[in-house]
Structure 1
Amino acid sequence: MIDYIIEPEQALILIWNRGETSPRDTIRQLDAMRKDPDYSHDFDTITDITDLKTDFSRQDIVKMAQYSETLPIPKGAKVTRNAIVAPADRTFGTSRMYEQLTNGFVPFKVGVFRDWASALTWIGKNPDALDDLLKAS
């Protein structure tokens, strides 16, 4: 299951990928999010997979990377950042594989982090300013 919050004032999208979620489900839910009226390609993203139960295989990661390569890029869109929060070794490793497969080939930069503070800092947001938002989420 994927939940998300779009914060237009912060130019930020927060995504939580939890439980048993297949790559196909993930792609379907991300496509639906992109249809949200508040969505903008120009927003940075933090994807938290702390509670993801599914173990994505190498083939799954390649499939996700290939999907990311096909995303439409609006003319004049800026290169955004997608920070992945993956504290567990198993998800950190597969996320790093995704990072390596996509950087330079997709319309955003990918970074993988063990905690929210590092992810927020990397995308240029003050972790303290978003603390209340994260608690509410």
Structure 2
Amino acid sequence: MPVCYQIYSAQQCIVFRKYGTYTTQDCRTSTKSALAEPNYLPQMAQIYDLSDVTDFDANFAQISSLVTFLGEISSQVDQNTPLVIIAPKDIQFGMARMFQQLMDGRTPFDVHLVRNWAEAAKIVDLPPERFQEMLKISA
């Protein structure tokens, strides 16, 4: 599955956009890459957009392993850092909900599930006009 990400230093967040078939390995790889970027900061909110995910090639054991990985990188992420998953479709939301439940108490993230970008903007405390600018850049 293709994954692209953009770090927005001024807004203190990273936006990951995922396309096609979701795999936990792609998520792990893109997260490692983003955290290794020179402009990454531990307090940056992380936004995962699943809007263009068409299929999930992930089972419970793989998702649990991904959660373990996210717990292992806790030294690179501030405690209670917002992690927002945008999941507009029911299948996306259901998979994200399972992921959220597994993460509870096992990672430094404060995980939120939303259906759209406007809800995500509120959680990461960005004014709508600033968020719209970001969307134009990362689209």
The TM-score, its normalising length taken from structure 1, stands at 0.89
Q: Does 1:115 align with 2:116?
A: yes
Structure 2 partner of 1:68: 70
Checking the alignment, whether the CA contact within 8 Å between 1:99 and 1:110 is kept in structure 2 is yes
Deviation track 1:9-36 (CA, whole Å, cap 9, x = no partner) reads: 1111111011234211221221112111
- Asked if 2 retains the 8 angstrom alpha-carbon contact of 1:33 and 1:39, the reply is yes
| Cα separation, 2, equivalents of 1:17 and 1:48 | 6
Pair 1:88 & 2:124 matched:
no
Note the residue ranges of structure 1 that are not aligned, 5 or more in a row: none
User: How many residue pairs are counted as aligned between the two chains?
Assistant: 136
The answer as to whether partners of 2:14 and 2:47 remain within 8 angstroms in 1 is: yes
Whichever residue aligns with residue 63 of structure 2, its letter is: I
Q: Which residue of 1 aligns with 2:60?
A: 58
**In structure 2, distance between residues paired with 1:106 and 1:16:** 21
Deviation at 1:118, TM superposition (A): 0.7
In the alignment, which residue of structure 2 is the partner of 1:31?
32
Q: Which moved more, 1:44-53 or 1:24-33?
A: 24-33
- Between the aligned partners of 2:59 and 2:128, the Cα distance in structure 1 is 32
**Is structure 2 residue 117 aligned with structure 1 residue 132?**
no
Compared with structure 1, are the counterparts of its residues 2 and 61 closer, same or farther at alpha carbon in structure 2 (3 Å cutoff)? same
With the length of structure 2 as denominator, give the TM-score of the two structures.
0.88
1:4 CA drift (Å): 0.7
**Cα pair 1:22 1:54 within 8 Å, conserved:** no
CA drift of 1:89 comes to 0.5
Q: Structure 2: 5+ residue runs without aligned partners?
A: none
User: Which structure has the highest strand share of the two?
Assistant: 2
Cα distance, 1:114–1:42 mapped onto 2, change above 3 Å: same
Identity %, equivalent residues = 26
* Aligned residues of 1:58 and 1:94 also touching (Cα < 8 A): no
Q: Post-superposition shift, 1:105? A: 1.7
